[in-house]
Amino acid sequence: MIPYDKRSGKIWYNDELVDWSDVKVHVLSHGLHYASCVFEGERVYDGSIFKLEEHTSRFFYSARRMGFEIPYSEAEINAASNSIIKNQKVENGYVRPVAWRGSEMMAISAQQTKIHVAIATWEWGSYFDPKLKVEGIKLNISNWRRPAPNTIPWDTKASGLYMICTLSKHEAEKNGYTDSLMLDHEGNIAEATGANIFFKDKNGELHTPVPDSFLDGITRRTVIEIAKSKNIKVNERKINPKELQDFVGCFLTGTAAEVTPVSCIADNEFKVCDLIIGLNESYQQLVRKKKAA
């Protein structure tokens, strides 16, 4: 795989198209030292960014929650996102908008820092091995928990929130798992390291945790809409880990993960059933639907 700092083409950087290798961030940037940085992850399908406007709105919301203003309008960021995928000729890939505080101040306080914005894009296939998307991935249960909602800006895509996700995923991979299930501060099921989670019960109903201390994903909401259109009942509620043994199916949802079945969580095994396969097929049909001319 080509390292991300060695790729070619252009990156939209502070309202300019800059050569990929020339985009620089100073080592004393506040965003690097104090995690004053927010980002989005978006998918390109057949040359079109799926739910671009929703992602951009969340991008701006995350910045406001982190106490800074993005120095462009949502319309300008949408236009820049569409422009860069065309410039890079990305047909099926990923888009990463990111905003961070600069290096004008180096301390906890950062009131006078400049806000930088960049948008990069590249061709990108499945987040997980395609074979695992058919057979189902394996999860362990992380020792790290999602923090209480009064301790962090939990409803944002802020970089600091992903520190324990990286720790959890590395530990899972070291022990032969693909990803890790994270519990919330109360010990209930929360999410995977970068995706929301759903369970299917013996009656064909879906159950998914209430997103009250972790991100309510755009893909999560989309899959709930698809499920309801199929008359599948969706229960959003607190889920105790003891209930894992009662479920027969499980899958993850996310911009990167899309709809990915889970074959086991620790010692609890699940089937890749027709309901999950059907939701994935419907999701793929939706995201690849060309916009009307």
- Residue 199: closest CA among 223, 178, 176: 223
Distance CA 175, CA 66 (A): 35
Return the domain boundaries, the chain: 4-123, 130-287
Separate counts of helices (H) and strands (E) for the chain = 7, 16
Question: What is the reported pTM?
Answer: 0.95
DSSP E strand stretches across the chain: 10-13, 16-19, 37-39, 42-45, 48-49, 93-101, 115-123, 137-145, 179-183, 189-192, 196-200, 206-209, 234-237, 249-254, 258-265, 268-269
User: Residues 43-99: pLDDT tens digits?
Assistant: 999 999 999 999 999 999 999 999 999 999 999 999 999 999 999 999 999 999 999
Q: Is 271 exposed, middle or buried (0-12, 13-18, 19+ CB in 10 A)?
A: middle
Q: Is 50 helix (H, G, I), strand (E, B) or coil?
A: coil
Has residue 291 got a pLDDT over 70?
A: no
Contact 84/121 with Cβ under 8 angstroms? Answer: yes
Q: Would the pLDDT of 235 be above 70? A: yes
Tell me: pLDDT of 38 over 70: yes
Distance (Å, whole) CA 132 – CA 141: 19
Residue 118 CA to residue 98 CA, distance in Å, equals 5
Alpha carbons within 13 A on the beta-carbon side of 143: 4
- Give the per-residue pLDDT at 293: 35
Residue 168 has pLDDT above 50, yes or no: yes
The share of the chain scoring above pLDDT 90, in percent, equals: 94
Res. 292: pLDDT tops 70: no
Residues 122-158 have pLDDT tens digits of 999 878 887 888 899 999 999 999 999 999 999 999 9
Instruction: Specify the pairing of strand 234-237 against strand 206-209.
Output: parallel
> CATH number of the domain at 130-287, please?
3.20.10.10
pLDDT band at residue 290 under the 50/70/90 scheme: low
CATH, domain 4-123, list 3.30.590.20, 3.30.470.10, 3.40.50.1370, 3.40.50.620: 3.30.470.10
Catalytic sites, residue numbers = 157
- Residue 77 CA to residue 79 CA, distance in Å, equals 5
pLDDT at 230: 98
